[in-house]
Amino acid sequence: MRLIMRRVALYVITAIVAITINFFLPRLMPGNPALTVLGKAQSAESPQAIAALEEQYGVQTKTGTWGQYTQYWDHLLHGNLGTSLNAYPASVGSLIRAALPWTIGLVGTATVISFVLGTLLGVAAAWRRGSWLDNLLPAMTFFQAAPYFFVAILAVALFATKLGWFPPSQGYDTATLNPGFNWAFISNVLDHAVLPALTIVLASIAGWIIGMRNMMITTMDEDYVLLAEAKGLPRHRVIGYAARNALLPNVAGFSLAIGFIVSGALLTEIVFSYPGIGYLLLNSIGSDDYPVLQGIFVIITFAVLLANLLADFAYAFLDPRTRQEA
Amino acid sequence: MPRLLRSPKILTGLCLSVAFAILAVVGPYLAPYNPNANASTTVGIAQPPSAAHLLGTTQTQQDVLSQLLVGGRSTVLVSLVAGVVATALAVLFGVAAGYLGGRADDLLSMLANIFLVLPALPLLIVIFGLLGKGASPNDLLIGFIISVTGWAFGARQLRAQTLSMRARDFIESARIIGERSWRIMAFEILPNLVPVVATSFLFTVIYGVGTYTALAFLGVINLSHWSWGTMLYWAQNAQAAQDVHIQWWWFLPPGLAVGLFGTGLALLNFGIDEYVNPRLRAAGITGRQARRAGLPRHARLGLTPVLPAREPVLEAREAAR
Amino acid sequence: MSTEEVIPSGQLASPGRHGSDPLIEVSGLCADYGFGAGAVHAVLDVDLTLRRGEVLGLAGESGSGKSTLAYAITRLLRPPGIITAGRARFDGSVDLLSATEHELRGLRWNDIAVVLQSSMNALNPVLRIGTQFADLLRAHRPGMSRVAIRERSAELLAMVGIPADRLTSYPHELSGGMRQRVMIATALALDPAVVIMDEPTTALDVVTQREILEELTALRDRLGFAVLFISHDLSLLVEIADSIAVMYAGRLVEQGPAKAIFRSPRHPYSLGLLNSFPSLHGPRRTMEGIPGSPPDLRTPPPGCAFHPRCRYAFDKCQAEPHPPLLPLDAGSRAAACWLQDGTRTRPDELALEVRP
């Protein structure tokens, strides 16, 4: 329990730090981007919008910095992330809310598949050293080093354009379908999700395979594994003894990796014009929509922290030694 | 030292990495054209490789090869700067935290954990986005900013290693003699951490390449500053992969370049890992002799191999008795 | 269930338990680490016999090959270990060295059990004790019901004096002594004929060591299994073993009944070992170690492996190949020393009937 409490404390502090950075960054940048933004906005927006923006970026000096900071927190805790510049009058929150389910669905499924598959392959590679699996490793290393979006581009070029097996873009066929809880829509969604998910899996699986393999090799040297063999336990049980222990660092590593995987997933979405956070991100960058950019940063930070917390729970569950801080 | 080079992983990794390092230096001088130059203003489709353009052209008729060679310098330079600075920070914070312990350790560890958990790419996007795409980008500055998000992992590893070393006798004796803390850290602890520092450095350079390429791909870095990521931005913008005539010469070279550079560094890393942790090396009975004698290449746990040819040896001995 | 009475040393080995049928017969066993030029010859030409119900002590320094020998016999030697020559037979019928994986699995633990040195690492840290017992019982007794498994597990723990509620504990929740007892209970779970113990008490404090050894002896008296007890502590072996085999640089250098070796060692190395342990009784003597250090097993010295450190060495020791185990006096004693070949007068210390 104490371990979990310490981790929660860390996450809370990190969240506070992240939000504070988010608050101060625009004010610290050379050339005060806020002014640029407002300059652009002057002509197009209504006076209320201008006022809101001024308040968000601290251009008017009626309240001091501390006041603005507390106000920022107040807005945040009420779910107010500001107003989009590009899609005015849509709020940042609404834009993110529309895009988030797509991203979570994609990243969530792909990450789970990658972790499970990668772990199993890693165990197999360690148990059967010298088999054909060892030859896969250099190829896996390449996929791990290549950027997610490059793998995505390759996937599109090969499977969508050349072979035509899957659609090259979008979350579903916007031209012909409307969202609804019917099989036609769902199967279309799945059809469009295959390539992006495949990309994420391919780009991230190498890390799990290699990590698990190396941990298994080190673990198989332990006495309890030898003893399990000496006890005459069936082979799958012996492997299980080793794997159950080797898994622990991998689960710990999951917390580290989740940040990378999320970032990679965002880039993948861009290549596929998948209607998730990544696509929103690209558009916001292109149109200098700072409120959206900062809102995305906050949401992603929360998501990553939450995923970390879940991984910590999983670790505490798997390793009984953490339950006692003797 | 020579044994280090005998591993195929290290050799390949070293060759690849050095090749790219050389590319970074001489690339721009080898480029046949100015990467911004448009060979023609009338043709609107990217051209496949030809004699004049060895890697073809982009949609606006710019030479891909030149972009690749010029862009290489920025990409490699930024990642190296990020690697160096991040590793320096990691050494500073990690070793200090491990050695000093107490409040200093708590503080530095907290700092490292925060940066570790904070999602790097979104933060960098906000930073670079606010910096302004019009700002003239400086490779050193970009590398420096990226390194701020990349030092935490190495710092944690170095802290762990320093902690385990602090308890050892030779450190204790140095302390009793009265050697000052910073001297102990620099001259006693650090030399023993070289392998960890090396892998941390390589890992951070890989991280730098990936991150910089991603940032450029997003268009957050000034688009007139050539790098492999920028090439991919333009390729994706023109939907080079979705076009019916797949313009593979446009997106394959920069993507492969990033991938191979990263692979080279990763192989180097694995090689060093295996060298330091001998268990990971092929701990089987290596050698053709062994195979010819009938021994399996990798012995199974719990099934110690027995030399098939032992019977004659045994009979000879029994006959002699 | 530790025995209350104090058992005076020298009498722990139970008398008259020797069945005459051999359980494990080893002849000419050679085991190396690695292959080819750089191979380390860890075990050289060892003949060993373990009889039903007997306690055989295997003594030697670290690196003498005693553990390698024991693991080689059961094919549990870790890579890069290879068995390069010899034969190992179990119960007169099973050839351990050419057995298939399936045959070995059937034998393991049912007939031959192992107790490892470090109990902390020998128990899976993420599984409860009860689970580890259950795994074992389920693997070998497929018909056992869950209730029967739990009862048997509790019974086994009771045998070593641990309350049954510990079945739900994890290994890190137990003390070192308790873990070692669990190891012993595990080893006896299937009522094996042979238990190989690799320095089972070395990692424990003296008091716990004594307790465990007493429990072990009581169990042995009750269940009648044979023990191959590996230890560097010769004085310990003298107390609990029926016969002792001394190993040096991969070879057997002396063999015989425990008491006989203790009273009248015949090999200079055994003499040196015994003189390294102070006796609680008798006159004070100057302690002597054995000068020098064990040889590099990749390039052992020519002739007898011990001769560079031997006080009594003469020209034959270096000139001729390593001496074979020469039978001594009557009975089962043997020593691998040219001084014992009957042609020379032996130094007094090596010809004693009883040591002072």
Contact call for A230 and C109, based on CB within 8 A: yes
* Bridge partners, residue C327, by sequence: C334
- What does the pLDDT read at residue C326? 81
Neighbours of C282 (CB within 10 A): 9
B213 touches A at CB < 8 Å: yes
- Indicate whether B131 belongs to any domain: yes
Per residue, the 3-state secondary structure of chain A, as one string, reads CHHHHHHHHHHHHHHHHHHHHHHHHHHHCCCCHHHHHHHHHHHHCCHHHHHHHHHHHCCCCCCCHHHHHHHHHHHHHCCCCCECCCCCCCEHHHHHHHHHHHHHHHHHHHHHHHHHHHHHHHHHHHHCCCCCHHHHHHHHHHHHHCCHHHHHHHHHHHHHHHCCCCCCCCCCCCCCCCCCCCHHHHHHHHHHHHHHHHHHHHHHHHHHHHHHHHHHHHHCCCHHHHHHHHCCCCHHHHHHHHHHHHHHHHHHHHHHHHHHHHHHHHHHHHHHCCCCHHHHHHHHHHCCCHHHHHHHHHHHHHHHHHHHHHHHHHHHHHCHHHHCCC
Supply the pLDDT for residue C245.
Answer: 93
A-C contacts (CB, under 8 Å):
70
Tokens of B29: 């001088």
Would you call C284 exposed, middle or buried from its count of C-beta atoms within 10 A (0-12, 13-18, 19+)? exposed
Q: How far apart are CA A161 and CA A293, in angstroms?
A: 32
* Torsion, CA A206, CA B253, CA A135, CA A151, rounded to 10: 30
Which residue type is seen at C320? E
For the record, the structure tokens of B39 come out as 């060979």
Let me know: does A141 contact B266? Beta carbons within 8 Å.
Answer: yes
The pair of three-digit structure tokens given for residue C312, joined into one six-digit string: 């009594």
Check residue C57 and give its pLDDT: 93
Name the token pair of B299: 């012995």
Question: For C183, which residue in chain A has the nearest alpha carbon?
Answer: A227
Q: pLDDT tens digits for A194-248?
A: 888 988 898 888 888 888 888 888 888 888 988 888 888 888 889 999 999 998 8
Q: What is the mean pLDDT of residues B102-130?
A: 86
Using CB atoms, which residue from B293, B304, B317 is nearest to C76? B304
User: Under a CB-based contact definition with an 8 Å cutoff, are residues C111 and C192 in contact?
Assistant: yes
Whether B184 maps to a domain, the answer reads yes
Q: Which of B54-58, B226-230, B261-265, C106-110 has the lowest mean pLDDT?
A: B54-58
Residues B147-164 as b/e (b if ≥16 CB within 10 A, e otherwise) read bbbbbbbbbbbbbebbee
Question: Contact C183/C156 with Cβ under 8 angstroms?
Answer: no
| Strand (E) or helix (H) holding B175 | helix B169-177
CB distance C214 to C187 below 8 Å: no
Answer whether B125 sits within 8 Å of A297, measured CB to CB: yes
Domain that holds residue B62: 2-33+55-276
DSSP C219: H
CA dist., res. C266 & res. A234, Å (int): 46
What token pair was written down for B235? 């390729």
Q: The CATH number of the domain where B70 resides is what?
A: 1.10.3720.10
**B250 within domain boundaries:** yes
Question: pLDDT per residue over C196-205, tens digit each?
Answer: 999 888 878 8
Q: At residue B75, what are phi and psi to the nearest 5 degrees?
A: -60, -50
CA torsion angle for A187, A188, A191, A193 (degrees, to 10)?
Answer: -100
Residue among A172, A170, A168 at smallest CA distance from A153:
A168
Nearest chain A residue to C187 by CA distance is: A231
pLDDT score of A25 = 79
Taking a C-beta distance cutoff of 8 angstroms, is the pair B307, C35 a contact? no
Query: C25 forms bridges with which residues in the sheet?
Result: C49, C89
Q: For chain C, which domains are there?
A: 3-241 (3.40.50.300), 261-350 (no CATH)
8 Å CB contact of B282 and A301 = no
**C334 SS3 class:** strand
Each residue of C252-300: pLDDT tens digit? 999 999 988 888 888 888 888 887 777 667 777 677 677 788 888 778 8
Asked casually if ipTM beats, i.e. exceeds, 0.90, the reply is no
The answer to whether position B318 is within a domain reads no
Work out the pLDDT band at C11, boundaries 50, 70, 90.
Answer: very low
Confidence of residue B245 (pLDDT cuts 50, 70, 90): confident
User: Is residue B21 situated within a structural domain?
Assistant: yes
Confidence of residue C13 (pLDDT cuts 50, 70, 90): very low
Report yes or no on B291 lying in a domain.
no
Is B7's pLDDT higher than 80?
A: no
Instruction: Report residue C57: phi and psi, to 5°.
Output: -95, 135
Residue B312 in this model has a pLDDT that exceeds 60: no
DSSP track, B219-272: T-S-TTS--HHHHHHHHHHTTTTTSSS--HHHHHHHHHHHHHHHHHHHHHHHHH
- Cβ contact C76–A230 (<8 Å): yes
Local structure of B56: helix, strand or coil: coil
Find residues 200-239 of chain A whose CB sits inside 8 Å of chain B: 210, 214, 217-218, 220-221, 225-226, 229-230, 238
In the DSSP assignment, the letter for residue B189 is I
* Total number of domains in chain B: 1
pLDDT of B128 > 90? The answer is no
B216 neighbors B227 (Cβ within 8 angstroms): yes
Q: Is C139 on the interface with A (CB under 8 A)?
A: yes
Nearest C-alpha in A relative to B234:
A271
Summarize pLDDT for B175-222 with one digit per residue, the tens.
788 777 777 777 777 788 888 888 889 989 999 999 999 999 988 888
Interface with chain B: mutation pick from C26, C35, C78, highest number of B CBs within 10 Å: C35
Beginning with the edge strand found earlier in the chain, give each strand of the sheet holding C40-51 in spatial order: C40-51, C22-33, C81-90, C94-95
CB contact, 8 Å: A68 with chain B?
Answer: no
Whether B41 maps to a domain, the answer reads: no
Q: What is the DSSP string of C200-211?
A: TTTTS-HHHHHH
Report whether pLDDT(B66) > 70.
Answer: yes
DSSP 3-state of C32: strand
Higher per-residue confidence, C135 vs A24 = C135
The average pLDDT across A71-81 equals 81
**Residue B168 domain-assigned (yes or no):** yes
**CA dihedral angle for residue A144, residue A145, residue A150, residue A156, rounded to 10 degrees:** -30
Write C290-294 long-range contacts (CB < 8 A, 24+): C294/C61, C294/C63, C294/C64, C294/C248, C294/C249
Q: What is the pLDDT of residues C152-191, one digit of tens each?
A: 999 999 888 899 888 998 988 888 888 888 998 999 888 8
Question: Is the bond preceding C301 in cis, omega lying within 30 degrees of 0?
Answer: no
- Local structure of residue B49 (DSSP, 8 states): P
If you average pLDDT over each of A280-284, B70-74, B83-87, C322-326, which comes out highest? B83-87
Count Cα neighbours of B190 within 13 Å in the Cβ-side half-sphere. 14
Task: Compute the distance between CA of residue A217 and CA of residue C203 in angstroms, rounded to an integer.
Answer: 26
Q: Chain B residue with minimal CA distance to C105?
A: B302
Return d(Cα B253, Cα B48) in angstroms, integer: 13
